[in-house]
Structure 1
Amino acid sequence: MQYGPPRADDGRNDDSESGGLESDDESPVSDDLLDVMDAAAAVIFPSEVEAHRTFVERYVLGRTAGREAYRRGLTETAAELDAIARDWRDSPFAALPRDERDEILRGLGVETADPEPDGTISERLRFYVVNDLLFAFYSSPTGGRLVGIENPIGHPGGTGSYRRATMPENESEEDESDG
């Protein structure tokens, strides 16, 4: 049984177990959905983060497994975002440059919208896309390290994380003279 929210790097729903991009009891997650989520992640995640497709894919698979209503809401919201991009920019959301994707999200008011799964497109984007991607990212060790959290809740670091810690260089000289 799964406790707590799924995380992108927890190993659940591994492709070898699920036969690709599908969960045990549901239809596969579409490449179009993953493309939109990956393109949104490129806008939402800090610029230092690269190659996030696998991370997004694992998170979406874990988040939608066994949750058909959630999967449907996410899929419909992503499809609507893609339709808006095609209407406003004559191109799929995922094919647009990062700055144009950012303009679309800001133009929809997503940054100030309240997250509501049954609300307006802006509220649904905030709920299904922005907040979920940010949660997945910052609750993972990779995202946590970017904001100074070595071991986010649910990801024990063990003694290895303490061994990696370094002391400032100037303190080592003072320690030697304290004898």
Structure 2
Amino acid sequence: MELTRRDAMGALAAAGVAVGAGVVADRFAGTEEDPPAFDEHALATTVAVGRAIYPSDLENVESFVRTYALSRSEGDEDYRTGMADAVAALDEYTQDWYDSDYVDLESETAETVLYEMGVDVEDPDPEGVPPERVRYYLVNELLYALYTTDTGGRLVGLENPQGFPGGTDSYQRGPGTDR
């Protein structure tokens, strides 16, 4: 399955982020420069987390995550700072255990690190201990972005996630049927 610009726009709309379609298209295509306040390392780490937690058969994960993360954090200094702190906490953990930043880990190790750190069992808390912040700013945010899209919704059997059109016809037919 392929993540598209429409998916990125839908995820941003579901998160309450207002951004123009042209901006999303440019970011998705990689033609717009990143906002200067966003750290490239934090963005690359967010993409690496997306690759670790998203199903492996998804395509365009990097474009989707970059577009979502840049647009989601634009104009929200507190969110951007929290995200950078979560990335720093994740890197500190991987430096202690693997002598490497998270973004430089092999894909299997990157998945394992999140479990070893306890991210899967901690409650998300933007001001909590490192695993809680990683879960809040990186894991949950990216999962929310994915599963509020049409493509992500289909992965888990939601044929019409919130924010996508379809009307009464969309819920009166079974999953996987066109009409």
Give the alignment's TM-score, normalised by structure 2: 0.76
Assess, with a 3 A threshold, how the Cα gap between structure 1 residues 15 and 47 changes in structure 2: closer, same or farther: closer
Partner of 1:31: 40
For the 8 Å contact 1:141–1:155, the answer to whether it is kept is yes
SS, match of residue 32 in structure 1: helix
2:83 counterpart of 1:74:
yes
Match of residue 11, structure 1, among 11, 21, 24 = 21
Distance 1:107 1:113 in 2: 12
Distance 1:120 1:166 in 2: 46
Assess, with a 3 A threshold, how the Cα gap between structure 1 residues 150 and 4 changes in structure 2: closer, same or farther: closer
The alignment's C-alpha RMSD in Å is 3.0
2:115 counterpart of 1:106:
yes
Number of aligned positions between the proteins: 160
Distance 2:178 2:26 in 1: 38
User: Can you list the C-alpha shifts for 1:96-118, whole angstroms capped at 9, x where unaligned?
Assistant: 11221122111111000011100
Please give the residue correspondences for 1:155-174 in structure 2 after superposition, counting only pairs within 5 Å. Answer: 155-157=164-166, 165-166=177-178
User: Can you list the C-alpha shifts for 1:33-53, whole angstroms capped at 9, x where unaligned?
Assistant: 121111111111122223300
SS, match of residue 149 in structure 1: coil
SS, match of residue 89 in structure 2: helix
2:135 counterpart of 1:117:
no
Assess, with a 3 A threshold, how the Cα gap between structure 1 residues 153 and 129 changes in structure 2: closer, same or farther: same
SS, match of residue 57 in structure 2: coil
Of 81-90 and 12-21, deviating more is 12-21
For the 8 Å contact 2:14–2:148, the answer to whether it is kept is no
User: Where do 5+ consecutive residues of structure 1 fail to align?
Assistant: 168-179
Of 109-118 and 36-45, deviating more is 36-45
Partner of 2:137: 128
User: Where do 5+ consecutive residues of structure 2 fail to align?
Assistant: 1-11
Partner of 1:97: 106
Of 86-95 and 37-46, deviating more is 86-95
Which structure has the greater CA radius of gyration? 1
2:30 counterpart of 1:21:
no
Distance 2:107 2:164 in 1: 31
Structure 1 residue 79: Cα displacement: 2.1
